[in-house]
Amino acid sequence: MHLIDRITTLYREEFGHTPAHIARAPGRVNLLGEHVDYNDGFVLPAAIDRATYIAFSPTNASHCTLRAVDFNQQARFSPLTIPSKTQLDLSPLPEWALYPAGVMWSLMEERVPVPSMIAAFASDVPRGSGLSSSASVEMAFMIAWQTLGGWILASMKRALLGQKAENKYVGVNCGIMDQFASACGVENRLLLLDCRSLEWKTVPLPDSVSIVIADTTVRRKLTTGEYNKRRSACEEAVRLLQQDLPNIRSLRDVAVDDFNCLAKGLPGEIEKRARHVVEEIRRSHQAQAPLEAGDVQNFGKLMNECHASLRDLYEVSCPELNTMVSIAQSLDGCYGARLTGAGFGGCTVNLVAKEQADGFARALAKGYESETGLRPEIYITRASNGAELIR
Ligand code: ADP
Ligand code: MG
């Protein structure tokens, strides 16, 4: 049964009536532009065809009642309990409820009407795999409150308010890409976002290719510390390069040629980190032309270069990710493969000829398992629309 039917049935069983509305909001995957968001660069994500679905109705009650089907739990909160992050009975909100409550909080701060609702929601975006299940929950609730509140905000504005909810209410320090892709996704298109100006456009992804996501199932613990070290290295590179290039504000402002001239003046590790960023920003910029021309081959090459750079220069890969990528790159029908997300485990993203995607997924799973002893999760997906009201 599709999740839309399942969520409708579960809502009816729980609340005794048919939901007034259904909304969906997808997860996302980034195809190019990794570790450049905090350097004012360009990212190239797509919304995927896995999503959070929410069945909801308005209510006269002064509080919201939410059922998280995937956790088999319920939470009740109101504008009065929002500041203390508690439920009506004053017990702390369960972790999953911080996301919808955070959306309510950021909308209240925005001073738009946030009426009470009854809702049940469920998702087929895997949680904690780097496909942004959290942003998909936030954006699904954004659509629900937009529907009941009778206001309309631009999709980028909804994304920014979702990011604010996650940063300031849930307490997770994420960039804008996740909520942006979930809010603004377009079927069969990649989204090119300028992380400095927040201007964005779409570029086509041919119908003949599938996006295949492969989860190594490995999660490294040191991620936050290593992530912060990479950010500091980039800031240090900017500080040092400013001696010769006083007008730069971030690595985004450094052209590859200028960088090549100045690189020998940088300490070895700083040089490697900054080189990845400067070249990756160029790659994500360069990607537009082949995509516009339907040239998946050349776009795939940029993905492969990105992986090598994340592995050798930015040093955020790990043996399992490298194994997954090497096997993928050797298989028929694969245009490009690389680690996606922060690194140190998590998923790879692969661009694969659609008619070969099933065989590719089987061979990749088999090869990875025989080399690592780990059984991967593989998702064949495609670029889909962003958050929307279904009915
Ligand atoms: P991800 O990379 O998937 O976004 P996060 O750690 O950022 O991982 O977010 C995962 C959290 O988001 C979950 O622990 C849960 O609190 C919330 N969440 C995600 N999906 C669901 C869901 N289907 N139902 C309820 N809460 C969810
Ligand atoms: Mg998340």
Spatial CB neighbours of 227, under 8 Å, sequence gap ≥ 6: 342
CA dist., res. 349 & res. 307, Å (int):
10
CA dist., res. 295 & res. 83, Å (int):
51
Mean pLDDT (the chain) is 97
- pLDDT for residue 170: 97
- pLDDT for residue 11: 98
Measure 150 CA to ligand 1 centroid, in angstroms: 27
Segment 147-175 shows an average pLDDT of: 96
Residue nearest atom 16 of ligand 1, based on CA coordinates: 96
CA dist., res. 295 & res. 286, Å (int):
12
pLDDT bracket for residue 156 (50, 70, 90) = very high
**Token reading at 125:** 């975006």
DSSP, collapsed to helix, strand or coil, labels residue 172 as: coil
* Residue 222 clears pLDDT 80, i.e. is over it: no
Identify the CA nearest to 18 among candidates 61, 54, 52, 55: 55
Q: Is 239 in the pocket of ligand 1 (CB under 6 A)?
A: no
Measure 179 CA to ligand 2 centroid, in angstroms: 9
Pair 270, 237: CB distance under 8 Å: yes
CA dist., res. 367 & res. 377, Å (int):
13
pLDDT digits (tens, 9 = 90+) for 285-329: 999 999 999 999 999 999 999 999 999 999 999 999 999 999 999
pLDDT digits (tens, 9 = 90+) for 82-125: 999 999 999 999 999 999 999 999 999 999 999 999 999 999 99
* Residue type, position 368, single letter: Y
Q: Which alpha helices (H) appear in the chain, and where do they start and end?
A: 3-15, 98-109, 133-149, 155-164, 177-184, 223-241, 256-262, 268-286, 288-292, 296-312, 319-330, 357-372
Measure 116 CA to ligand 1 centroid, in angstroms: 22
- Concatenated DSSP letters of 3-57: HHHHHHHHHHHHHSS--SEEEEEEEEEE-S--S-GGGT-EE-EEEEEEEEEEEEE
- pLDDT for residue 174: 86
- pLDDT for residue 284: 95
**Top-confidence residue, 174 or 372:** 372
Q: Is 133 in the pocket of ligand 1 (CB under 6 A)?
A: yes
Within 10 angstroms of residue 147's Cβ, the number of other Cβ atoms is 18
Pair 21, 389: CB distance under 8 Å: yes
Q: Is 38 in the pocket of ligand 1 (CB under 6 A)?
A: no
CA dist., res. 290 & res. 310, Å (int):
22
Segment 269-284 shows an average pLDDT of: 98
* Residue 165 clears pLDDT 80, i.e. is over it: yes
Atom of ligand 1 nearest to the CA of 122: 23
Residue nearest atom 2 of ligand 1, based on CA coordinates: 130
Q: Is 128 in the pocket of ligand 1 (CB under 6 A)?
A: yes
Identify the CA nearest to 381 among candidates 97, 124, 96: 124
pLDDT digits (tens, 9 = 90+) for 122-141: 999 999 999 999 999 999 99
pLDDT digits (tens, 9 = 90+) for 235-267: 999 999 999 999 999 999 999 999 999 999 999
State how far the alpha carbon of 227 is from the alpha carbons of 220, 317, 323, 348, in Å: 12, 12, 22, 18
Contacts of 290-299 with CB under 8 Å at 24 or more apart are 291/190, 291/203, 291/204, 291/205, 292/203, 292/204, 294/204, 294/206, 296/206, 296/208, 296/209, 296/335, 296/351, 297/335, 299/32, 299/335, 299/336, 299/351
Identify the CA nearest to 58 among candidates 120, 8, 119: 119
| Angle at alpha carbon of residue 220, lines to 42 and 128, rounded to 5° | 65
Distance of CA 362 to the CA centre of its chain: 25
Q: Is 99 in the pocket of ligand 1 (CB under 6 A)?
A: yes
CA dist., res. 24 & res. 197, Å (int):
27
Q: Name the active-site residue from 37, 49, 124, 178.
A: 178
DSSP, collapsed to helix, strand or coil, labels residue 323 as: helix
pLDDT digits (tens, 9 = 90+) for 45-59: 999 999 999 999 999
Let me know if 253 is a catalytic residue: no
Atom of ligand 1 nearest to the CA of 132: 4
CA dist., res. 168 & res. 174, Å (int):
10
Share of the chain above pLDDT 90, in %: 97
* Residue 1 clears pLDDT 80, i.e. is over it: no
3-state helix/strand/coil string of 339-373: ECCCCCEEEEEEEEEHHHHHHHHHHHHHHHHHHHC
Q: Is 137 in the pocket of ligand 1 (CB under 6 A)?
A: yes
pLDDT bracket for residue 223 (50, 70, 90) = confident
* Residue 221 clears pLDDT 80, i.e. is over it: no
* Residue 210 clears pLDDT 90, i.e. is over it: yes
- pLDDT for residue 173: 87
Segment 67-94 shows an average pLDDT of: 98
DSSP single-letter state for residue 64: E
